[in-house]
Amino acid sequence: MKTLKDLFEHQLKGLYSAECKLVEALPKMLHHAANIRLRIAFESHLNETKKHKDRLEKICEELDIQPKEKTYKPRTF
């Protein structure tokens, strides 16, 4: 990564990847949760996560970035 734009794009892709993984995992967690309050919490979190994923898709579309559902390593300085 050579520019701040590269870093920004990398971070957006990382966020998108994380949200995709949560959208995939939360229904499984919801299915296996026995406690009703835990099920409600997972369901609520899933709904919010889907909204986050949609927002990230719109941001990437506006910036002409192609997000992928692969794993991104965090960058540090």
pTM of model > 0.75: yes
* Highest mean pLDDT out of 40-44, 64-68, 73-77: 40-44
| Rounded distance between C-alpha atoms, residue 11 and residue 63, angstroms | 13
Name the CA dihedral angle for 33, 45, 49, 13, rounded to a multiple of 10 degrees: -80
- The helix (run of H) or strand (run of E) holding residue 41 is helix 36-62
User: Given pLDDT bands bounded at 50, 70 and 90, which one contains residue 62?
Assistant: very high
